[in-house]
Structure 1
Amino acid sequence: MTAEPRAALPMYARPETAEAEARLWALMRAALPDLPARLGTPDDLVAHWRAPDLVLSQTCGLPYRTLLHDRVQLVGTPDYALPDCPPGHYRSVLVMRPDAATRDPEAWARARFATNSRGSHSGWAAPVTHLATHGLAFADVLETGGHVASLRAVARGDAALAAIDAQSWRLARRWEPAAAGLVEVGRTAPTPGLPLITGPAGDAAALAAAYAAAVGDLGAAARERLGLAGLVAIPAEAYLAVPTPESVRASEV
């Protein structure tokens, strides 16, 4: 079995952002020359995040609070300057096809719901919590394996509704054809965004300083392509305070 990479930024990786992401990493390596030569692509995200020699990665808030918080160090939270969200926060966007679009939570509960994973905050925990505030739950669920796959499932008619991470939705509207045929029908409450983490032996402060400086030095075009505005410090307590529905499968992402 091939070892998982010691450094990766997997959560918003797309071919269209690879060059800008490589530039970000090169700037970090200029400040911290002992970093791995390049970012990797994990095959098993949980194994990657749990690796004792993890240098840097980005995880989802749900696995952080259910699996990782006592095994890793927080480095910081990238700020994507998402509309109506505090710095470093994000939300889920509920999307449907225009011909079936509705803002009625009771209709959402009856519709076939596409989730990237029951181990995802934005794709599962956030919309489940949102629907629960109306005393409702999803009755028919399709697990797709990824936000883009969920968008495509709704566009094809395999599902009626999906919840997409707001940054993933912004990237998809720019580069994913399936997103062009979908409309927003709702949004969940903002929660802390996807944090950068390092392993027990990592130097979280040095990594945070290098990442923040690299974002500043990227140049406007690369920052815009990645959607990055900076890095903020959000305490672990803020992540741990986010509700976790009983229906999550935290080992899946």
Structure 2
Amino acid sequence: MPDTVASLCWYPATRPAWERLWQGVRARLGWGPEALSWPEEAGAHWRDPGLVLSMTCAMPMRLGLARQAVVVGSPVWDLPGLPPGHYASHIVMRADDPRDPATAAAAGIAANAPDSQSGRGVLDAAGLEGPIAYTGSHAAAMLAVAAGRAHLAAIDVVTWRMAPHSALAIRATTPPTPATPFITARPEWRAPVRTALTAAIAAMPPADRAATRLIGVTDLAPAAYAAA
């Protein structure tokens, strides 16, 4: 077996809960790294042959990651209006900005990454266009809008639920799209990792469940994450 790695780094605002979830997965799996990685550059991490568990995004999967990673399942979030295995994005602007979203977008958008479905892809679907500054994270995108360096951002509803910005207001919410899938490196790892992950989620302490809003794992049609 190669050296193994794992990460659950999408939601750093609740990092301790994700660390505890991984310990639950590892205890049930019986192998894997002792601690989670928190990579700043995820592309190579997702392609590591020793990747036991991580979360990615629908857009990287469609852009080719699906040829190298195996979907373990899609998270089920305990948030209003989300079907199992889906999430959505809030379109946010400064609370004191009276403009409509299209006008604000035309003045400048902050997005976490060019291959983020929740921060970038949903803007196309919503018809919101304008110059885009990529910030590296949803938190940094919110800061950019709050500081006036950008005028609009799309922030996934899970991130917003965990760490909203007091200077910003939700102006719209996008339709649900396939959520950030859990992935692993090898087909033969999928079943044991899925079993361990499902059991670890079910055993989460109530405080961790409330913090992360994660309540389960489900399966979507393969086309949801298939490479184009």
Q: TM-score, normalised by structure 1?
A: 0.83
Number of equivalenced pairs: 226
Partner of 1:77: 74
The offset of 1:201, in angstroms, is 5.2
Give 1:220's match in structure 2, choosing from 193, 200, 206: 206
- Pair 1:125-2:121 in alignment: yes
**Who is 2:225 aligned against?**
239
The alpha carbon displacement at 1:105 in A equals: 4.8
- Secondary structure, counterpart of 1:34 in structure 2: coil
- The match for 2:109 is 113
Answer whether contact 2:145 2:152 (CA < 8 A) is retained: yes
2:140 is paired with a residue whose SS is: helix
Shift of 1:63: 0.4
How far off is 1:140 after superposition? 2.0
Given that residues 90 and 157 in structure 2 are in contact (C-alpha distance below 8 angstroms), is that contact kept between their aligned partners in structure 1?
A: yes
Aligned equivalents of 1:101 and 1:36: distance in 2? Answer: 49
Q: Which amino acid aligns with 2:200?
A: A
Alignment of 1:56-205 (within 5 A): 56-102=53-99, 104-131=100-127, 138-173=129-164, 179-200=165-186, 202-205=188-191
Amino acid of the structure 2 residue aligned with 1:125: G
Q: Distance in 2 between matches of 1:35 and 1:238?
A: 28
Q: Following the alignment from structure 1 to structure 2, what is the Cα–Cα distance between the partners of residues 96 and 5? A: 41
Q: Which runs of 4+ in 1 moved over 4 A?
A: none
1:98 touches 1:182 (CA, 8 Å); kept in 2?
A: yes
Cα distance change on mapping 1:44 and 1:106 into 2, 3 Å: closer
| Contact 1:55-1:202 within 8 A present in 2 as well | no
Is contact 1:53-1:201 (8 Å) kept? no
Asked if the contact 1:49–1:57 (Cα under 8 Å) also holds between the matched residues in 2, the reply is yes
Report the counterpart of residue 45 of structure 2 in structure 1: 48
Instruction: Check whether the contact 1:5–1:48 (CA below 8 A) recurs between aligned residues.
Output: no
Identical aligned residues as a percent: 39
Is the CA contact 2:58–2:224 (under 8 Å) kept in the aligned structure 1?
A: no
8 Å contact 1:5–1:41 — kept in the other structure?
no
Listed one character per residue, the Cα deviations across residues 99-157 of structure 1 (whole Å, up to 9, x for unaligned) are: 2144x4541442211111111111111112211xxxxx523222211110110011111
How far off its partner does 1:93 sit? 0.6
TM-score of the superposition, structure 2-length normalised? Answer: 0.92
Q: What is the Cα deviation at residue 19 of structure 1?
A: 2.4
Q: CA deviation at 1:7?
A: 0.8
Residues 181-190 or 230-239, more deviating: 230-239
Unaligned ranges ≥5, structure 2 = none
Q: Which amino acid aligns with 1:9?
A: L
Q: SS of the counterpart of 2:171?
A: strand
